[in-house]
Amino acid sequence: MSGRGKSAHVLVEARRLDSTRKRARALTVVDQMVAAGEPVTFAEVRRRAKVSNWLVYADGVREHIDKARTQQILKPAHDRAAGLSVSAISLKTDLELARAEARALRQERDQLKAALQRSLGHQLDQLGNADLVARIDELTVAAQRLTGERDEARAETSALQLQVAALEDDLAASRTSLRRMIREGNLPPQ
């Protein structure tokens, strides 16, 4: 075999080995996706296996992908037949049970609310009128004290406002006097 024939044979073998590896990688990706329960698509297999678009549609790979897709489509019907998935009747039953539980919880909540109201009413009844009158008297005294303090604060505020007004008048007069003195001081001597 000549050098040229030998190198061509080596290139053909390398290409065949590369093609075999890529096909194996694509098939492995399909199997992994099926095992993980992920939807198998030609584009996703191509992307994950990092192979060409042509390869995923090539004989041997395309059939494997089609078979995986068919299995995934038929899986819900198979699971229902085998009792592995939840049926519509089972879901309706669960919904009815949940609704019944919600009704029972609402009823219990209403009963507890009524019991709390009765308990609070009973506690209020236990407080004698004398206690309530004493509390009202305390609050009345506190209100009168606060009213007196408020009136004193208002009177003090009024006095302070008058004092501020007088001080502002004095300040204005001082400024006027100062301006006059400055003007007279800036005039040339006569």
Quickly list DSSP for 50-113. T--HHHHTSTTHHHHHHHHHHHHHHHHHHHHHHT-S--HHHHHHHHHHHHHHHHHHHHHHHHHH
pLDDT single digits (tens) 33-83: 998 888 999 999 999 999 999 988 988 899 999 999 988 888 765 555 555
Tokens representing 62? 């395309």
pLDDT single digits (tens) 115-169: 999 998 887 777 667 777 888 899 999 999 999 999 999 999 999 999 999 999 9
- Residue predicted with more confidence, 114 or 120: 114
Q: What are phi and psi of 114, to 5 degrees?
A: -65, -40
Separation between Cα atoms, residue 104 and residue 45, nearest integer Å: 51
Can you give the pTM of this predicted structure? 0.40
pLDDT single digits (tens) 91-109: 888 899 999 999 999 999 9
Span 12-27, average pLDDT: 91
